[in-house]
Amino acid sequence: MAAATVLLAAILVLSLSYCCAASAATTVTAAAESDRIDRLPGQPPVNFSMYSGYVTVDAAAGRALFYWLMEASGVPADSAPLVLWLNGGPGCSSVGYGAMEELGAFRVNPDGETLSLNPYAWNKVANVLFLDSPAGVGYSYTNTTNDLYSAGDNKTAHDSYAFLINWLERFPQYKYRDFYIAGESYAGHYVPQLSQVVYRSNKGIENPTLNFKGFMVGNAVIDDYHDYKGTFEYWWTHGLISDETYVKLWEACKYDVSEHPSKECQKISEVAEAEQGNIDLYSIYTPTCNKTSLHKRRQIRGRMPWLPRGYDPCTELYFTNYYNLPEVQEAFHANVTGIPYAWIGCSDPIYEYWKDSPGSMLPIYRELISAGLGIWVFSGDTDSVVPLTASRYSIDALSLPTITKWYPWYYDEEVGGWCQVYEGLTLVTVRGAGHEVPLHRPRQALKLFEHFLRDVPMPKPVESVQSY
């Protein structure tokens, strides 16, 4: 009898401990609660929680970064991984492009005032955290004017790390959760650099609060030499420039740093731009935005049936209008001082005055591959700004052994792209997608993201099933 009483008492203690731990894991701090988004203007109903606000990264300089968290909707939010998404530029808004044009839960409608749901949002399988970085991008701000003219790779990486550490104090339920970093374009610098800071900060810690598992980048700036080589080759092989310009581009630019090209490189680049004409270089086969030619866009879509039916080249105009609405800023807890300035997707001063920009991320790749982290690189094959050829040359420079040779991967019984698995890195292409893969191929992008989180290669024909 006494033994049974002791056993029951032990079970009760364990049960209470479990309940208390579960409660603690899901408790929202007062600071986080003040960041909760009750409902955005024009928003349809959703079954997940959202938070947004500011996290100070440098109190002395008055530097604070703005975030938007979309908790998971298709899987339990309290156990789903946390994924940080970064857009590039440098100087472009993740809250703008990533959240409202690509992988977020909403799309801004053409009226610029209401939202519709994105059925292929990445928060179906993860908690997604969008960050505007560095300070001066989107709603992020600084009280030190010089910060706008002294931003660079190193400061951005360390500010983003400071953000994560401070953000976790506001959202302690995400401590020790599987954590990934993803992004595109110039985030090809941001993502591996921040990954390196996290990895090095975690070294020697048995159970780090940032339980970092790996990173993924898309149409990413990786290595200037190979990026130039692959980009110029793409332009030439796709008929966008002349033979003469192709030769001169390589001669003038091959040893330049992408963020600080020489005058000779700039001059011949202007010639190349003139030869390319008025096309969308980020998606060379889709129409450009012309608000007065909706009928023309419909005609073009009729000749190109592979274009997504929901594709609209003017989405940037819609979300720019939306983010400038006072009621939207209030709902986001943004621009709390009420300073009258226009929200813009990309900051010209930050881009034009960008400081340090190393010519290659390959040394970081080698370090993190050796550490056993999961690394995926994906590429839309109709982007001419950071094209697939550039990514392939950069990855080839790593000289990694091949685990699985090049093969077509499938989605809904159609080729979604191609895949090659290396020792420590997976390369995935997305057929028919431009620079912003989730914008042009949303279904395939979600499939890609799901496989990245599981670290499972893309499906071959016999494995092909439509998940969403």
Residues noted as catalytic: 185, 383, 435
At 360 the three-state DSSP class reads strand
Q: In this structure, how many other beta carbons lie within 10 angstroms of the beta carbon of residue 74? A: 18
CB atoms within 10 A of CB 130: 27
Whole-angstrom CA distances from 178 to 211, 344, 452 are 5, 33, 13
Report the distance separating Cα 263 and Cα 278, nearest Å. Answer: 23
Residue of 382, 364, 467 whose CA lies nearest to 425: 364
Contacts of 373 (CB under 8 A, 6+ apart): 195, 199, 212, 213, 214, 215
Provide CB contacts within 8 A for 294, sequence distance 6+. none
Query: What span, in angstroms and rounded, lies between the C-alpha atoms of 114 and 318?
Result: 9
Cα dihedral 443/444/446/451 (nearest 10): 150
**How many whole angstroms separate alpha carbon 28 and alpha carbon 171?**
7
Residue that is written with structure tokens 């989405």 in the block: 315
- Residue 368 CA to residue 118 CA, distance in Å, equals 33
CA 237 to chain centre: 28
- Torsion angle, alpha carbons of 52, 186, 346, 72, to 10: -20
Contacts of 286 (CB under 8 A, 6+ apart): 280, 304, 307, 311, 313, 382, 434, 440
- Residue (of 88, 92, 80, 177) closest to 123 by Cα position: 80
Q: Is the alpha carbon torsion for 153, 159, 165, 167 positive or negative?
A: negative
